[in-house]
Structure 1
């Protein structure tokens, strides 16, 4: 019921940014204009009233001085900028009135009691008329007693100025508000035009048209920066879409091969009636199933990394992680020689860091001839110390032009790193993503012989051996 009572009011409110901006500007200007109008009228009237009172007061003081010296009857009274003058003694008798005032009727019925000055504003004066009058009253001591001088001046100029100013404000105010509304409406429309163009372009972009971009206005303002940010976001979406489609295609291709081989082996096993051949066929099928399991596990891990799922982070001894990963590889074709430094503490997931070491060792074992070396140490830098893990082999190595491409998913180099060596081309990609997830890097660097893969991870603050510890790697 409360929502129903509020809905008519909400329908009256402006519904667009342009309308709200225009209404807000008009309301603000109207409030400022009203305050300025009242202030202007008040200041104008006060100034004109002060001028009229000053002229009347000056005339009254002159006449009062004449009365005090007894020269009022002898002098010829002249009026300057006033309407009338009346002089009344302490008994209420009119001593003089100029011009056209009844000489026997005092302006004020109260008799003067003491010398002083007063000012009054009368809506109608002794002479009548349409305008107000400002009357000053000066009481002074004379040889004949207290005498009061009344001097009045018409406020027709004040009233005329007030009327003229009020009429001008009454006409100019609405015109000014209309101008403000029109200008605000036009300016807001021009400012929001690019925003509407951006909205329309984004609304027309579908999942198959991520190559489209929104127009960037040449204004170099907030709207232009919004358009640039939107285009940057679209670039990332397009890149993510391309990577996803490529990943799905590569994954489908990699899954198709072992599934096809497995199906062939099973069909052959069904066709062969000799039980002595079944162990060999079943063994080959199990190998393909193991390859499928490994591939599915890698794909699941990549999906978790891409989804930026939080990892269980803890302080770890990286040397212990490396030693455990090396000790678990008892059946490797080529023996691994490890020289990890101790006491290097990093923050991360033990399972994922062990996976990084395992993938690097798998890659080295696949192409090594006689040896695989693992070294772990730290190096110092302006941003803090860094743990450095190196895995080298004496195989054919990685050409300089392919040292970034080997970290792409499902990538195998044509000759040395072919499918015949096993693997789906995901090991190094997973290792680099896991290193990046821990705030580190994985790169392929120069080596006298074979491949040299280097992992750099930030050392946990306040932990780890000195850069010169045995087995450490000094800064490269």
Structure 2
């Protein structure tokens, strides 16, 4: 157990040490990553280049040696070889007879001191064959100290590495000609190959670090230039508080991801500013709406205390109760709006709206205006029972306030959705105000709304409830029906699927 604890502690220490070595900034990490990748790629490429260069140069040396051997072999097949061979290829050539005697060589391969040449190189004449044999014997005696043991060879060329020492490539072949069976050796130096490798290695050793350093410098500068707008955005956002949401971050004119990030941040600030303004306006309106009934209620209580007449108490208590109910309804509406703004999850279930709305409308007390109801079956939605009930109640209550003689409620299934329409025969909603009526604490006729007890929250709450269920609520132009001149409020909700089997 103690060993495991020590091992874990050592592992954590190493992990922390490695984390300290890793760059923390994005700029440093990007530069480190780019430099490491380029260094690895260039290093691997350099090694491969050196290998290919050496292989190509070595192959060229071997082919040169093979070519020289072939040229001498072609001459040896046709005529006697001269003691000294001229070789424009630059390699060293040696030719040995069947007994291993050196019979011909290039100047650089001749033994020192240079033996006399008793005869000029010529092609033997058949009439002077004895003279040719004598010349061959004299040449063999002259170079007898340079005799070597030859391994048995065929007619194929064979590469013999480092026969004459390090740094040379040797190729040999055996042919038959006027000099008998001879073995030809071509030795080519690998010095140019080594020199080329040293030059390439030195160039790469100097050039690669400079190139890697240049890549690191360029990456550092480019990354810093690219991240400069991000730092400007960060510093600007860090200074924005709830009191100066009007400020915006700078948008770089690059059109890249950073530019789109700045645009997104500004859009978010726009929404935050709008939400803050709405919240402040909501608090101000709510305070105003609460102050009025509280002031009236206080006045009534003060009058009751100042005039302790039992005959006035029933009227005063009735007015106080009315204002208290108004306060209670307003407080309930404000709490519901707060819950809707918070988007708290609520319990949902599969509901048949025709059944639900029929029960709600039947349970209403006697309304001022009679209702005409048309509820089509099959209007099934997934939602909250209490909130959908409140949606219908608010729409009907709003129609009851302004209707002159009739309120119509219609529920239908249209094109895969549920449509709820509430119409009245009242003055209607002007086209310019059909969107403004859904704002909180909005009254198109403030005096009449206060008289009827409305706070301007009913339609705002109804729209929020419809949107919470994935639907919409709008004030549309009255069409058809018996009263085309009144208000027409249309709520559209998504239609749910069929109920589960066995339900």
TM-score (normalised: structure 2): 0.84
2:425 to 394, 413, 417: 394
Q: Which 10-residue stretch deviates more, 440-449 or 263-272?
A: 263-272
Task: Tell whether the 8 Å contact from 1:91 to 1:111 is kept in structure 2 after alignment.
Answer: no
Unaligned runs of 5+ in 2: 1-8, 112-142, 479-483
Distance 1:348 1:104 in 2: 116
Change (3 A) 1:108 1:415: farther
Does 1:254 pair with 2:289? yes
**Corresponding residue for 2:114?**
none
| More helix per residue | 2
Report Cα offsets for 1:73-117 as digits up to 9, x if no partner.
358621122331112344433333333444557797552343322
Instruction: Give the superposed CA RMSD.
Output: 2.4
Task: Tell whether the 8 Å contact from 1:112 to 1:146 is kept in structure 2 after alignment.
Answer: no
Change (3 A) 1:377 1:91: same
**Corresponding residue for 1:158?**
193
Distance 1:391 1:73 in 2: 122
Deviation at 1:206, TM superposition (A): 0.9
Distance 2:35 2:147 in 1: 51
**Corresponding residue for 1:73?**
81
Does 1:32 pair with 2:72? no
Distance 1:461 1:254 in 2: 42
Deviation at 1:408, TM superposition (A): 0.4
TM-score (normalised: structure 1): 0.89
**Corresponding residue for 1:303?**
338
**Corresponding residue for 1:404?**
435
**Corresponding residue for 1:220?**
255
Task: Tell whether the 8 Å contact from 1:118 to 1:137 is kept in structure 2 after alignment.
Answer: yes
| Structure 2 counterparts to residues 344-359 of structure 1, below 5 A | 344-359=379-394
Task: Tell whether the 8 Å contact from 2:472 to 2:491 is kept in structure 1 after alignment.
Answer: yes
Distance 1:179 1:374 in 2: 77
Task: Tell whether the 8 Å contact from 2:85 to 2:93 is kept in structure 1 after alignment.
Answer: no
Bigger CA radius of gyration? 2
Deviation at 1:320, TM superposition (A): 1.4
| Structure 2 counterparts to residues 22-171 of structure 1, below 5 A | 22-69=31-78, 71-73=79-81, 77-99=85-107, 100-102=109-111, 103=143, 111-122=151-162, 125=164, 132-141=167-176, 146-171=181-206
Deviation at 1:434, TM superposition (A): 0.7
Distance 2:308 2:81 in 1: 157
Task: Tell whether the 8 Å contact from 1:114 to 1:146 is kept in structure 2 after alignment.
Answer: no
Distance 2:148 2:44 in 1: 38
**Corresponding residue for 1:10?**
19
SS in 2 for 1:248: helix
SS in 1 for 2:24: coil
Report Cα offsets for 1:369-409 as digits up to 9, x if no partner.
222111122323xxxx2222111122222222111111100
Q: Which 10-residue stretch deviates more, 342-351 or 163-172?
A: 342-351
Distance 2:263 2:160 in 1: 71
Runs of 4+ in 1 over 6 A off after TM superposition: 105-108
Task: Tell whether the 8 Å contact from 2:409 to 2:423 is kept in structure 1 after alignment.
Answer: yes
Task: Tell whether the 8 Å contact from 1:56 to 1:82 is kept in structure 2 after alignment.
Answer: no
SS in 1 for 2:470: coil
2:367 to 326, 329, 332: 332
Q: Which 10-residue stretch deviates more, 139-148 or 433-442?
A: 139-148
Task: Tell whether the 8 Å contact from 2:84 to 2:105 is kept in structure 1 after alignment.
Answer: no
**Corresponding residue for 2:128?**
none
SS in 2 for 1:390: strand
**Corresponding residue for 1:468?**
none
**Corresponding residue for 1:423?**
454
Aligned residues: 453
Task: Tell whether the 8 Å contact from 1:367 to 1:416 is kept in structure 2 after alignment.
Answer: no
Task: Tell whether the 8 Å contact from 1:317 to 1:345 is kept in structure 2 after alignment.
Answer: yes
SS in 2 for 1:391: strand
Deviation at 1:32, TM superposition (A): 1.3
